[in-house]
Structure 1
Amino acid sequence: MMPAKQTHTQHALPLNGQDPHGKIIGHGKFTYKVDAHWGKLNPEKYPIENCHGFAMDAEGRIFMITDNTSNNILVYSQQGKLLDAFGSSFPGGHALKIVQEGEQEFLYVVDCGWIVNRHWDGHSIDKEDSPFNKVIPQSGFVAKMTLDGKLVYTIGHPQTYGVYTPEQPFRPTDIAIAPNGDLYITDGYGSDYLLHYDKQGRYLNHWGGHDNTDPNYNLHNTHGIEIDLRDEQKPCLMVSSRFEQCLKVFSLNGKYIDKINANGAYIGGPVFKEGLFYAPVCWSHINEHNADNTGFISIFDKNNTLIANLGATQPEYINGQLQPMQSTEDVFNHVHCICVDQDDNLYVGQWNASQSYPIKLIKV
């Protein structure tokens, strides 16, 4: 099973047919109450396919990207009230980030290139190389926008400036913005490079891919990325190599620094809050493959040590080695994105989860 290519139209049934609303998960100071009804909307008016990415603006509003072009972006209050809905240009809407530039905030939206096939044969959902599959790939792109949806510019296929050849796929999955405005884009569903641009979207550098002589530079399904600013003197990049079940740390100019093991977890990009970071896990590694409906959330400390899992076996290190982990709770299908508010509550979006709206985990 290829996690980067599973179609966005297969729907998991609710786990055990049970609503997890009100359930308590986690342990110790990382204990939460599940509000499974937090983001629910009228699906006829505000349909979604998957909850793919979150970002919070300076006012505390929560922006969410979906891959339904009826309303690509939904804006919630922290109480779950819908404040805005807009966007119809992102059939592969997959990630978003908000950045402050002077007095104004801007929204970066990542479209990974997957689209609903108008030639669908009515039943194929797994035959990704078929012209009749329900979801098919095209090239993706990144858009910079104002918070009310006005387009500023787009970044398209790297063949246009000679970095990729035309046959290399470009299907980006996430973006990170450095303090100086530089952009770092993961091509996690395409050619698995990490591409570096300046704030005007001009290409600077790239690294990654699969076939490096030094495997530390290999990236496999490089799904998520963020800037680690916990050491202000040495900011760095933390990027998921999801099919290697790890996160890799690089300098801002692409030098390999470290690998963070996530043994048993197909882990996404980090979300930093104070000294910690939170990471979504789409699948657990069970019976030698990424098992459906086995997602969870991992929490790491300031030393990048895994200290808690929500919805999974608790982390255990033996002789410094993290032991395999897997899902244990009937709460999550496939955790795809996380947002953390000022009170350490978590907002959770899922892929392939019966078109479910985001949920809130209230810190206990």
Structure 2
Amino acid sequence: MLCSLTEKQKQQIAHPFPKNGQDPHGKMIGHGKFKYKVDAHWGKLDPQQYPIENCHAMVIDAQGRIFMITDNTQNNILVYSQQGELLDAFGTLFPGGHALKIVKEGEQEFLYVVDSGWIVNRHWDGHSKEQWDSPTNNVIPQAGFIAKMTLDGKLVYTIGHPQTYGAYTPEQPFRPTDIAIAPNGDLYVTDGYGSDFLLHFDKHGRYIKHWGGHDNSDTNYNLHNTHGIEVDLRDANNPTLIVSSRFEQCLKVFSLQGEYLSKISASGAYIGGPVFKGELFYAPVCWSHIDERNADDSGFISIFDQSNKIVANLGAPQPVYIEGELQPMQTDWQIFNHVHCICVDQDDNLYVGQWNSSNSYPMKLIKQN
């Protein structure tokens, strides 16, 4: 174990919260059988030694350790115990660190890291934070990549710009956002900050095909800011892909061969990819759609049942369906800034990381029986 802060030390480290600076530690959130107690101090570390920019992804390995990636290159990957102790820290090569997945091959687990291509701008003007195409913005884009690694950080291989294997032309941007691994080891990568395609590779990282983008005659195949992806194994005989089309405020379901199957509405929620646990899946919402825009500090978590219907929202008003249609939400957010990642442990506790939340560390939501 590298370090473990006492409760007094945790209290001494500043932590920003969206609602008038109020600390939600100990607050109860949720609805029905989905109620949680907020441990807002769970992931706090010394920001001088373990700084973060954004908490972009969290996954759990077979030992129950929680891996988190940030886009701070002092140590991109932090490894926590479920009690919030830091067990390991490594990685300095992912300035756009954005997604993690763990897969077991034989007796060994491997870590897939997705770098979305955003880097801190050394020519930043000191205040610009939203004009992504400005040379003086605080972050600027470059090409992204995918890395396969061992759990202790040794590189196995990388997948780079699709122009190198003939899938893209050089002028098409590649800034991937997430990855999913099928039962046969095939990889599916969303290019959500680049050209919005979904790319399919075999387990060795060799390109097979891609689909999506913006200009399909059948608009069901279009993807807009496709931010997250996972393989849905709830029907063992018919695995599918659930893919977020975040700026369409929905999730789209495809076959593993790329055939469009259906759409899951998120009605006003800029939703990320699913995290499965049993028959449920959990999805992070970065923003809510208010006054014709994605509103700041309006993130929350949606929980979907086996029929892909929302059964609870955490940190936001509860879902309302009228004649089977999900209704837009009212403006009432309680806890979060912009939820970007979730992982679920063996006891159904949730670990939550956020984007653009003043460098805040992840928190834990403790399931109540």
* Superposed CA offset, 1:265-296 (max 9, x none): 00000000000000000001111110000000
Going from structure 1 to structure 2, the CA distance change for 1:328 and 1:209 (only over 3 Å counts) comes to: same
CA distance in structure 1 between the partners assigned to 2:270 and 2:239 by the alignment: 25
In the TM superposition, what whole-angstrom CA distance separates every residue of 1:81-137 from its partner, at most 9, and x where no partner exists? 000000000000000000000010000000000000112222322232222221100
Residue type at the aligned position of 1:324: P
Q: Tell whether 2:130 aligns with 1:148.
A: no
- Structure 2 distance, partners of 1:12, 1:204, is 44
Residue 194 of structure 2 corresponds to 190
Measure how far apart 1:13 and its partner are.
6.0
What amino acid maps onto 1:17 in structure 2?
A: G
Q: In the TM superposition, what whole-angstrom CA distance separates every residue of 1:225-249 from its partner, at most 9, and x where no partner exists? A: 0000000000000000000000000
Distance in 1, matches of 2:87 and 2:331, equals 34
- Residue 142 of structure 1 deviates from its aligned partner by 0.3
Which residue in 2 is equivalent to 1:227?
A: 231
Quote the Cα distance in structure 1 between the aligned partners of 2:331 and 2:180.
28
Please say if 1:210 is aligned against 2:214. Answer: yes
Q: Counterparts of 1:105-144 in structure 2 under 5 Å?
A: 105-144=109-148
How far has the Cα of 1:28 moved from its partner? 1.1
Aligned 8 A contact 2:71 2:95 in 1? yes
Are 2:68 and 1:73 aligned? no
Aligned equivalent of 1:251: 255
Task: Quote the residue 1:7 is aligned against.
Answer: none
- d(CA) in 2 for partners of 1:336 and 1:230? 24
The alignment of Structure 1 onto Structure 2 pairs a total of residues equal to 354
After superposition, the Cα gap between the structure-2 partners of 1:216 and 1:55, relative to the gap in structure 1 and judged at 3 Å, is same
* Maintained 8 Å contact 2:229/2:241: yes
> Which one of 350, 357, 360 corresponds to residue 361 of structure 2?
357
AA aligned opposite 2:108: Q
Mapped to 2, the partners of 1:228 and 1:20 lie a distance apart of 33
The amino acid across from 1:342 in the alignment is: Q
Q: Does the 8 Å contact 1:12/1:352 carry over to 2?
A: no
RMSD: 1.1
8 Å contact from structure 1 (residues 12, 333) kept in 2: no
**Amino acid paired to 1:33:** K
Partner of 1:297: 301
CA distance in 2, matches of 1:133, 1:288: 24
Q: Is the 8 A contact 1:125 1:134 kept in 2?
A: yes
Structure 2, unaligned runs of 5 or more: 1-14
2:276 equivalent in structure 1? 272
Calculate percent identity across the aligned residue pairs.
80
Give the 3-state SS of the residue equivalent to 2:20 in structure 1: helix
| TM-score (structure 2 length as normaliser) | 0.94
In the other structure, the counterpart of 1:160 is: 164
Q: Is the 8 A contact 1:295 1:327 kept in 2?
A: no
Task: Give how far 1:320 is off.
Answer: 1.3
2 CA distance for matches of 1:326 and 1:154? Answer: 44
**5+ residue gaps in structure 1?**
1-10
Counterpart CA distance in 2 for 1:331 and 1:78 is 21
4+ residue stretches of structure 1 with deviation over 3 A?
11-14
Are the equivalent residues in 1 in contact too, given 2:17–2:23 (CA < 8 A)? no
CA contact (8 A) 2:299 2:333 kept: no
**Structure 2 counterpart of 1:27:** 31
Cross-structure match for 1:43: 47
